[in-house]
Amino acid sequence: MINMKDFLKGSGFIQPIWVFVIAITVFFSFMSEYFLSVGNLSNILVQTSTIGLIALGMTYVMINGNIDLSVGAVLGLAASLSVGLQDYGITIAVIAALASGLVLGAINGLIVWKTGVNAFIVTLGAMIGVRGLIFVYTEEQSFYATNFAFSDFGAASIGPFPVLAIIFLVCTLVMHLVLKKTGHGRNTFAVGGNPEAALDAGIRIGRHMMINFIIVGFFAALAGVLLATQMGAATPNLGRDYELWTITAVVLGGTKLTGGYGSITGTLGGVLAIGILRNGMNLMQVPAFYVLVILGAILISVLIIDQRLNVHASKGVSI
Amino acid sequence: MSTAAMNRNAAHGASSSSPVLSLIDITKKFPGVVALNKVSFDVRAGEVHALLGENGAGKSTLMKVLAGKHQPNGGKIILAGEEKSFENPKQAKKSGIVLIHQEQSLVPEMSVAENIFLGSLPLKRGNRVDWKKLHADSTEILKRLKCTFSSRDMVSNLSIAKKQMVEIARALVFTPRIVVFDEPTASLTDHEKPVLYDIIRNLQEQGVGIVYISHRMDEIFHLSQRISVLRDGEYNGTLNTAETSEDEVTKLMIGRTLELDHASKPSEFGEKMLELRHLTVKGVFEDISFNVRKGEIVGMYGLVGAGRSEVAETIFGLRQPSAGEILLEGKAETIRSSHDAVVKGIALVPEDRKDQGLILGMNCRDNMTLSALGSVSSMGFMKTGEEKVVYDKYQQAMKIKTPSWRQKVGNLSGGNQQKIVIGKWLHTHPKLLILDEPTRGIDVGSKAEIHALIKELARSGYAVLVISSEMPEVLGVSNRIIAMYDGRVTAEFDGDAVSEDKLVQAITGQNVTDARGPAPAASA
Amino acid sequence: MASVEQGKQAIMLNKKYKAGLLNFLSAQGILVFFLICMFAFSLFSEQFLSQSNIMTVVRQASIIGIIAVGVTVVIIGGNLDLSVGSMLSFSTVLVVDLHDKIGPAGAIILMFVLTLLIGAVNGFLIGFMRLNSLIVTLAMLSAIQGLVLIYSGGKNVDIANQSDTWFAFFGRGYVLGIAVPVILFALLAIIVQVVMSYTSYGRRIFAVGGNPAAAVYSGIRKNWCVFSTYLISAFCVACAALVLGSRVMGSQNNVGQGYELLVLAGIILGGTSLLGGAGSVWKTIIGVLILGFIQNGLLLLGYPYYTQWLVTWVIIILAVWLDLANKRKRLFTTHS
């Protein structure tokens, strides 16, 4: 069964997370008639689009060998700005919100690049600090959108396809192509896979890192704006724990924390796995609490499977 | 393939024209130390110029200055008559100076082509990679190197030798004028070395100047036309390879001649300390049988990848055998973990000093006592006074050079680091001492000291198993030699009466004429 | 031989003595920063340095401090523990809920046992299964939060008769005028610091964190060492839950949410490296206290509580950055 092993390792055509996605899809379609309906499927895409968008950027940052813990807070700030600034017009509010993501991403990236402080620490600080910014800006108030054009956007569809789902899928495609085909995408792999070698080869590792932090900041902000359109509101605590969900999705998709390895297709699988599990269990009327436990268990199982496969692949002593 | 059969100076037809590269009076200071003091060095086109020196003599620093990794504090770099100063490795590479690293500097999860063109991927409009050009150019370079693998292969799937080829291929992207090889054979098997030698000759024929850094005399005499020696950051002379001898070079390196002492091997053996019977770890090695007696030094000789270290790790409890047994003092034992091994009197000085032997951020004393913390503590509390006594004892016995026990071992030279690892194990008072490549990457002086130490330990009753891929080392210390090839013991020899040819036959899978054969029990 | 190395070392040693005071100050940078902060706040608020205020701050910091002591050991051992926040929720809900059902003694014992059990699960997965600690404890964070919600049915719990139970001692009691949480904090910190600095166990943990492979090749039972660090961390969480449950006499089911961040912030601020193999409980205490005093000082100056988060953001990065800059003798990295 050598092929089986290759297959599970993802060196084959289909990534293991997609096998899992298909398996739970089949499972839930037996458990609930409604599950495979077009309405429910696009529902899943809409529900996952928030985490999904951030996960796209997070994949870049993690392949690059870094991590961004501040995405939840950036999402919260962008959501608050996009609702809170609507007196100046929706366009300005949305632009300001997206710009906040770009700026915060740039700040994170610049600090990681110029100071050499570990990204985990830099973004842990930002995670706490940006939440502070939200509270300073909102003074602990929730904002409600008074302009219905804004909240209508979150529920809009083009034909049978919800706009949010389309945005998510288009972004996924673009991010996939950029990672696979462009100089920036390939250098992102190089920097994460062997920073020393990348540096010697003249790759500007700091710039690539910063660009990736800007990308993830932008997607976190975009997710925040879209989430606000869905809710027609923004609360100061919006986005708490989103970094956990995002990292979970990316790791489920096979991207390695150590950098240099991962894919957007895998991340899409990871995002869908979480979305389908939540949605399916909801349809089966399992309380949301159990989803937390089950997702934790799945994440650990994935780690165990991954490790087993790698231990047998290398002949070295596992320490 | 043996040293005797080597064709000295095969490529000595190279032109002796004026130098293509000259380093003049290069000085490099680091905070508190002068690493290079007015060192001059030159390379002619089509020449292999070997650069020798003990560890810490400044070879690597000099090459890093040349390759733009360090900026010199003084002196000039003249390339093809033009004075140059490189701010980073990429600039140096563009001028045709390429450093092939000791450490692998490849990105594992990328294709061969992407690695060859790392940092200079051909791009089309919109930052898109031009895959067609990338693979076409890479394939052409690989063809020049006579490589059999494809430019689309993933680097993580290649063998170490093939990875090295990719590194060399990378050197050919910019038409190189100078290629620096920094210990290129350290990770190559004897099979793979001739391929490297061919490549070097090929480069020579194209008029490329080669700087070749190595600790291995046989290679240097085989390949080079000139030899330059550095000592303590200073230039110590250049010799024509054809007109000199290993002794002369060694003398220049360490300031004295080195006598290889074959006579002082231990000669009185006790009972069998260790015996392996048909030991097998599935997929790694098979049917290993041999023994080591008290007071005896057994050498285990074989190529990298023959399964030698793995046998040692199994004896040390880091791998579990799938068949066969391990006997200690005649009793069959199951060794569950490295801790279990220590309790049972086994010590392993591992192959990789920095990754497996030492906690680099810890001080000398703490590293020394790490394997026998019980002996320097009571009720779990450390007795630092006794620790110091233990440290002093081994520090003096082995002449470990460090300003203080507080020094972090990461700051010591390779030889002194290795002595600390050995001291650590001696303090556990083992009955069986296994040393895996005990002198790899260690300078000539420390090497001799460690060899003497090994013999002394055996004479005082230790059973010693020495794993090595250096023939002079195995021949110099062993009473008996176990040859391994491809996960099996192929022959067992008397250490004093074996010819080099037969050893080479045994470790390369050829039939050995009149060896003692893989007998499970040696004559006791 | 190696005389270049020796020369380098000798010169460095020499320099060290000459610049002793300066080096001491830069090595103790965080302590200096701490004193400057204290001084600055005391200029603006007379109350700040009063004994009662200091005791209040220390008492408030004690819960994070107790957890941070345990997590410091995990980090020295080369791993992370992000699950302490939801573990705190779990243990607090458990002890408060069980208090009225089986009595305080039973509740405390059961809570300690179950908390240690969770620690053992962490330890097993990371120590024996050798899984990545960041992801495992991330998964445990969400799984434990789920367990708490399942257990409590999403409701908050409290103790009915709050004035009439000796359980109040741990969060509200005083011994010799010192609050019990502070005493617990100090006791745990001293014990753990002594264990880490003066025992062979501590030496092994430093070795395992410094270089896991070398530790194993030295005959150290690395798996057990890692496993034990998570038991220590869980034990500290259980102590913190005791204090928290007893002080509040009730619990929301997400009471510990975010504690893992504050704990990490304190540890990082103190100067313990996340890479493992280095660090100390003393540093962690200083880090936690700095956060506590900044929070308190800002409140006394009339700023809303969330301004401390902005300050935390800045000083965490500054602290690590300056430490790095001091080591590399250069403020910024040089690569492009």
The residue among A6, A177, A182, A200 with the most chain B CBs within 10 A of its CB, best to mutate, is: A200
Among residues B139, B159, B174, the one where a domain terminates is B174
Asked if pLDDT for residue C30 goes beyond 50, the answer is: yes
**H or E, element range at C44:** helix C29-44
pLDDT at residue number C202: 96
Claim to verify: residue B154 and residue B273 sit in the same structural domain: no
pLDDT at residue number C6: 47
Name the pLDDT band for C21 (thresholds 50, 70, 90).
low
Domain assignment present for A17: no
Domain assignment present for B229: yes
Contact between chains at B121 and A183 (C-beta distance less than 8 A): yes
Compute CA distances B92 → B27, B79, B98, C223, whole Å. 18, 10, 7, 47
Asked if pLDDT for residue A108 goes beyond 90, the answer is: yes
Compute CA distances C194 → B62, B382, C198, C283, C289, whole Å. 47, 11, 6, 14, 20
Domain assignment present for B216: yes
Domain assignment present for B351: no
CB B111 within 8 A of CB B151: yes
Closest residue in chain C to residue B354, using alpha carbons only: C214
Average pLDDT over residues C149-171: 86
Asked if pLDDT for residue B15 goes beyond 50, the answer is: no
Domain assignment present for B350: no
pLDDT at residue number B103: 64
| Closest among A252, A292, A48 to C83, alpha carbons compared | A292
Size of interface B-C (CB pairs under 8 A): 124
Contacts of A152 (CB under 8 A, 6+ apart): none
Q: What percent of chain B is predicted at pLDDT more than 90?
A: 39
Give C310 or B167, the one with higher predicted confidence: C310
Asked if pLDDT for residue C313 goes beyond 80, the answer is: yes
Claim to verify: residue B341 and residue B360 sit in the same structural domain: no
Domain that holds residue C174: 37-328
Average pLDDT over residues C22-48: 76
Give the tens place of pLDDT for each residue, B85-129. 888 887 888 888 888 876 678 998 899 999 999 988 999 988 899
Claim to verify: residue B439 and residue B460 sit in the same structural domain: yes
Asked if pLDDT for residue C216 goes beyond 70, the answer is: yes
Domain assignment present for C47: yes
**ipTM of this complex:** 0.88
pLDDT at residue number A1: 39
Q: What is the DSSP pairing of strand A161-162 with strand A157-158?
A: antiparallel
Contact between chains at C198 and B357 (C-beta distance less than 8 A): no
Q: Does C23 touch chain B if contact means CB atoms closer than 8 Å?
A: no
CATH number for the domain spanning B243: value is: 3.40.50.300
Contacts of C263 (CB under 8 A, 6+ apart): C64, C67, C68, C71, C84, C85, C288
Q: Does C333 touch chain B if contact means CB atoms closer than 8 Å?
A: no
CATH number for the domain spanning C260: value is: 1.10.3470
Give the tens place of pLDDT for each residue, A180-198. 999 999 999 999 999 988 9
Name the token pair of A276: 């389908």
Asked if pLDDT for residue B34 goes beyond 80, the answer is: no
Domain that holds residue A248: 39-287
CB B186 within 8 A of CB B104: no
Size of interface A-B (CB pairs under 8 A): 72
Nearest to C5 among B339, B371, B413 (CB): B413
Claim to verify: residue B404 and residue B375 sit in the same structural domain: yes
Give the tens place of pLDDT for each residue, A231-256. 999 999 999 889 989 999 999 998 98
pLDDT at residue number B30: 73
Asked if pLDDT for residue C155 goes beyond 60, the answer is: yes
3-state helix/strand/coil string of chain A: CHHHHHHHHCCCCCCHHHHHHHHHHHHHHHHCHHHHCHHHHHHHHHHHHHHHHHHHHHHHHHHCCCCCCCHHHHHHHHHHHHHHCHHHCHHHHHHHHHHHHHHHHHHHHHHHHHHCCCHHHHHHHHHHHHHHHHHHHHCCCCEECCCHHHHHHHHCEECCEEHHHHHHHHHHHHHHHHHHHEHHHHHHHHHHHCHHHHHHCCCCHHHHHHHHHHHHHHHHHHHHHHHHHHHCEECCCCCCCHHHHHHHHHHHCCCCCCCCCCCHHHHHHHHHHHHHHHHHHHHCCCCHHHHHHHHHHHHHHHHHHHHHHHHHHCCCCCC
Closest residue in chain B to residue A194, using alpha carbons only: B107
Q: Map tokens 């950055």 to a residue.
A: C321
Cα B315 from Cα B276, distance rounded (Å): 9
Domain assignment present for B262: no
Provide the number of structural domains found in chain A: 1
Domain assignment present for C24: no
pLDDT at residue number C17: 44
> What is the distance between the terminal CA atoms of chain B, rounded to a whole angstrom?
33
Q: Is B389 exposed, middle or buried (0-12, 13-18, 19+ CB in 10 A)?
A: exposed
Claim to verify: residue B108 and residue B159 sit in the same structural domain: yes
Asked if pLDDT for residue C301 goes beyond 90, the answer is: no
State chain A's mean pLDDT as an integer.
Answer: 90
Among residues B208, B232, B256, the one where a domain terminates is B256
Name the pLDDT band for B399 (thresholds 50, 70, 90).
confident
pLDDT at residue number C158: 87
pLDDT at residue number C1: 38
**Least confident interval from A43-57, A279-293, C12-26, C86-100:** C12-26
Claim to verify: residue B402 and residue B438 sit in the same structural domain: no
Domain assignment present for A104: yes
Claim to verify: residue B452 and residue B414 sit in the same structural domain: no
Cα B451 from Cα B459, distance rounded (Å): 13
Asked if pLDDT for residue C15 goes beyond 70, the answer is: no
Asked if pLDDT for residue C255 goes beyond 50, the answer is: yes
Provide the number of structural domains found in chain B: 4
Give the tens place of pLDDT for each residue, C260-295. 999 999 999 998 999 999 999 999 999 999 999 989
pLDDT at residue number B133: 94
Claim to verify: residue B63 and residue B189 sit in the same structural domain: yes
CATH number for the domain spanning A59: value is: 1.10.3470
Domain assignment present for A233: yes
pLDDT at residue number C265: 94
Domain assignment present for B261: no
Q: How many CA atoms lie within 13 A of B3 on its CB side?
A: 13
Claim to verify: residue B157 and residue B180 sit in the same structural domain: no
The residue among A74, A114, A115, A307 with the most chain C CBs within 10 A of its CB, best to mutate, is: A115
Q: Look up residue B14 and give its DSSP letter.
A: -
Claim to verify: residue B363 and residue B339 sit in the same structural domain: no
Contact between chains at B318 and C206 (C-beta distance less than 8 A): no
Domain assignment present for C31: no
Q: Render B287-350 in DSSP notation, one character per residue.
A: EEEEEEETT-EEEEEE-TTSSHHHHHHHHTTSS--SEEEEEETTEEE---SHHHHHHTTEEEE-
Name the token pair of C40: 């600055």
Q: Is A32 exposed, middle or buried (0-12, 13-18, 19+ CB in 10 A)?
A: middle
Claim to verify: residue B372 and residue B287 sit in the same structural domain: no
A260: distance to nearest CA of chain C, Å? 17
pLDDT at residue number C11: 45
Interface of B with C in 46-65 (CB under 8 A): 54-58
CB A293 within 8 A of CB C143: yes
Contact between chains at B446 and C1 (C-beta distance less than 8 A): yes
Among residues B236, B256, B276, the one where a domain terminates is B256
Residue A111 sits at the vertex; the CA angle it makes with A107 and A112, to the nearest 5 degrees, is: 120
Q: Map tokens 């303090």 to a residue.
A: B427
State chain B's mean pLDDT as an integer.
Answer: 84
Name the pLDDT band for A306 (thresholds 50, 70, 90).
confident
Task: Return the amino acid letter for B411.
Answer: N
pLDDT at residue number C10: 45
Residue C177 CB coordination number (10 Å):
7
Domain assignment present for C141: yes
**Least confident interval from A8-22, A30-44, C9-23, C287-301:** C9-23
B135: distance to nearest CA of chain A, Å? 14
pLDDT at residue number C88: 97
Closest residue in chain C to residue B407, using alpha carbons only: C9
**Least confident interval from A5-14, A110-119, C176-185, C310-319:** A5-14
Please state whether the predicted TM-score (pTM) of the whole model is above 0.80.
yes
Interface of C with A in 129-168 (CB under 8 A): 129-132, 134-136, 138-147, 149-150, 154
Closest residue in chain B to residue C204, using alpha carbons only: B370
Neighbours of chain C (3+ CB pairs under 8 A): A, B
Give the tens place of pLDDT for each residue, B261-309. 566 788 888 899 999 999 999 888 999 999 999 999 999 998 777 889 9
Asked if pLDDT for residue B152 goes beyond 60, the answer is: yes
Name the token pair of A177: 């192509």
Contacts of C176 (CB under 8 A, 6+ apart): none
Domain assignment present for B423: yes
pLDDT at residue number B1: 36
pLDDT at residue number C259: 93
Contact between chains at A296 and C139 (C-beta distance less than 8 A): yes
Average pLDDT over residues C180-201: 96
Domain assignment present for A306: no
CA torsion through residues B405, B409, B410, B411, sign: positive
Domain that holds residue B52: 1-96+175-256
CA torsion through residues A118, A119, A124, A126, sign: positive
CB B220 within 8 A of CB B246: no
Name the token pair of A2: 């050598």
Name the pLDDT band for B193 (thresholds 50, 70, 90).
confident
CB A79 within 8 A of CB A227: yes
Domain assignment present for B263: no
Contacts of A120 (CB under 8 A, 6+ apart): A67, A69, C274
Asked if pLDDT for residue A14 goes beyond 90, the answer is: no
pLDDT at residue number A311: 62
